[in-house]
Chains A and B, each alone.
Chain A
Amino acid sequence: MPKGAGIIERSLVQDDHILEHENLVMDGIDVSGRWNTMLKSRVHADRDLDAWDTVRQNLVATSIDNCIQCGMCTAGCTVAHEVEGFNPRQFIYWVRTGRTEELKNQADVVWRCVGCYICTHHCPKEVNTAEVIETIGQWLRTVVPERMDRAFHVNHQVYRNHLISRGRLNLPLLQTTFLRALGRQNELFAPEMKKTALKMVGDGRVLKTLRMGRPHRWRKNRQVLGSEA
């Protein structure tokens, strides 16, 4: 039997919170068998509110305070059904109750939100859940970057630099920069990529991309957009 197999909602309980005893005697009564599984006490004394402070102060995520933990966001979530441990309701719960250790343990899961806005759309309390989750992901990036996949960091950096320095998306360049930074440049020669790339060179789309230029007076825009805070 896998650990904690008898627990309903097993996915909500972390492995190291499950205590399974070979033989368990309580008050002189042998409770081995079905009743030998216990959960570690969930009394939570050291609340770390750093994440909450950061998230609720972000303009796009102030609505986190409206959350009533109903779980509508998670019921319809695209990623919750694909990535184990992806649970927006729980992420919000952890942030607001100061369980940042749990949150940090899932750092490599939180960023996998695809931004489809099903959660925001379904929220009965007008929480902008999609942007709250994005903000939590960005907070994790500042505190435990080492626990997140490099692809996430590189994607974020490449997009950000590209947007700020150019003001427009040169998509082939963006894709190439991303793959090279990850050491995945071989993918550029994968049949599906190569086919499209060669076709776009031939039919003038690459040339058009090279000529797209920057918006006017971009230097000043860049200063504002790229500034901190």
Chain B
Amino acid sequence: MSHETAYFPGCSLKTIDRAYDVSTRLVAGDLGLNLVEVEDYACCGVGELKGEGLKSHYLPGRNLGHLLQQGQTEVMVSCNVCYHELSRTAYAWSRNESVGTEINRMLEAAGEPGITETPSVRNTLEYLVTVVGLDKIAQRVRRPLTGLRVAPYYGCLYHRPGAMVSSIQVAGEDPERPHFMHDVLRALGAAVVAHPAETTCCGGKNLLSDERTAGKLTGRILSQAKEAGADVLALMCPKCAGGLDALQPRAIKAAGEGARLPVVYYTQLVAVAFGHSPEAAYLKDMESGSFDVIRRLLQAAPKPALV
């Protein structure tokens, strides 16, 4: 199957969180997805202009305009923040005509292409499950992650609010108790560890400005996942990774040693299960020791079958 879709990586995946971008591309390539990047992207807005009303739709609107201008109506997004922002603007555009007109008026004033139809904003996780399919993912596995206990962590913006992030609902994902990451991890042969913090917030918005709250929230997620018996926490948002991976020492300070847990992007696990090396999946970019966990797992496992 070769299937083309537009892809929006966003600022963070283009730079410091390249691990998520690279692993998304590896996985997409293996599954016959041809990703066409949205050209001349701008920041998705990261929600920082929400208090300014209409302005908060400017940056996502510009990106959607560029998507449509390059002749595509569907875009796959890995970063949860970008996914949420683009979905939110597509939703506002389609739901309220006067808002849609205002968004386009702003874009026109800046000489940018406007939004001409409702684009379909898809999350990579949902895309893998619904468009590619779990069977196909399972078939492509070369090195099952047998024995690895993974705690899935969705964060917030993948599935909330259900009405705005419409691709999730169309796909039949449960916005109360999402399970697509559970399903994908199972298809890889990993042991999925359920835990109470699968969809609780990491406090990433105020990671540095309200450290006390962020420390408590990240500390709780990590310790609950670990308590449930996880070897690694799999996540899907670079903002969550900031608090759970790079600044994990602060979570440990807030919640104690129980919060020490290796963290990976779920796409990295898919890439490794598909036969890519931990280096190629950029596991070394993660700060919480996940590279060593995966390397040990691979050393213990038999060599992958030849492709």
Does B110 reach chain A (CB closer than 8 Å)? yes
Does B295 reach chain A (CB closer than 8 Å)? no
What is the bound-complex CA distance between A156 and B51, given in angstroms?
Answer: 10
Complex contact A167–B42 (CB within 8 A): yes
Give the residue of B51, B164, B250 whose beta carbon is less than 8 angstroms from that of A137: B51
For residue A212, give the distance in angstroms from its CB to the closest CB of chain B: 6
Complex contact B216–A192 (CB within 8 A): no
B160: A residues at CB distance < 8 A:
116-118, 120-121
Does A220 reach chain B (CB closer than 8 Å)? yes
Chain B contacts with A in 251-287, Cβ cutoff 8 A: 284-285, 287
Chain A contacts with B in 209-227, Cβ cutoff 8 A: 209, 212, 215-217, 220-221, 223-225
A83: B residues at CB distance < 8 A:
213
Give the residue of A134, A167, A223 whose beta carbon is less than 8 angstroms from that of B51: A134
Contact with A along B94-136 (1 / 0, CB 8 A): 0000010010001001111000000000000000000000000
Q: A115-B205, A221-B42 are in contact. Are A169 and B110 (CB under 8 A)?
A: no
Complex contact B42–A168 (CB within 8 A): yes
With CB as the reference atom, state the residue of chain A lying closest to B99: A59
Interface centre among B15, B204, B284 (most CB of A within 10 A): B15
For residue A142, give the distance in angstroms from its CB to the closest CB of chain B: 10
Does A160 reach chain B (CB closer than 8 Å)? yes
Does B11 reach chain A (CB closer than 8 Å)? yes
Complex contact B42–A151 (CB within 8 A): no
User: Could you say which interface size class chain A belongs to?
Assistant: 35 or more
Does B217 reach chain A (CB closer than 8 Å)? yes
Give the residue of A82, A154, A160, A178 whose beta carbon is less than 8 angstroms from that of B213: A82
Q: A131-B50, A167-B43 are in contact. Are A117 and B161 (CB under 8 A)?
A: yes
A221: B residues at CB distance < 8 A:
42, 62, 110, 112
B99: A residues at CB distance < 8 A:
59
Does A87 reach chain B (CB closer than 8 Å)? no
Q: A149-B209, A208-B18 are in contact. Are A114 and B204 (CB under 8 A)?
A: yes
Q: A116-B160, A118-B156, A178-B208 are in contact. Are A225 and B58 (CB under 8 A)?
A: yes
Complex contact B246–A196 (CB within 8 A): yes
Complex contact B53–A58 (CB within 8 A): yes
Give the residue of A120, A126, A149, A209 whose beta carbon is less than 8 angstroms from that of B15: A209
Does B229 reach chain A (CB closer than 8 Å)? no
What is the bound-complex CA distance between A216 and B283, given in angstroms?
Answer: 33
For residue A175, give the distance in angstroms from its CB to the closest CB of chain B: 7
Complex contact B206–A114 (CB within 8 A): yes
For residue B215, give the distance in angstroms from its CB to the closest CB of chain A: 10
Chain B contacts with A in 1-59, Cβ cutoff 8 A: 11-12, 14-16, 18, 40-43, 45-56, 58-59
Q: Which residues of A contact B (CB under 8 A)?
A: 58-61, 78-79, 82-83, 112-118, 120-121, 126, 128, 130-131, 134-135, 137-138, 141, 149, 151-152, 154-156, 159-160, 163, 167-172, 175, 178-179, 191-193, 195-196, 199-200, 203, 205, 208-209, 212, 215-217, 220-221, 223-225
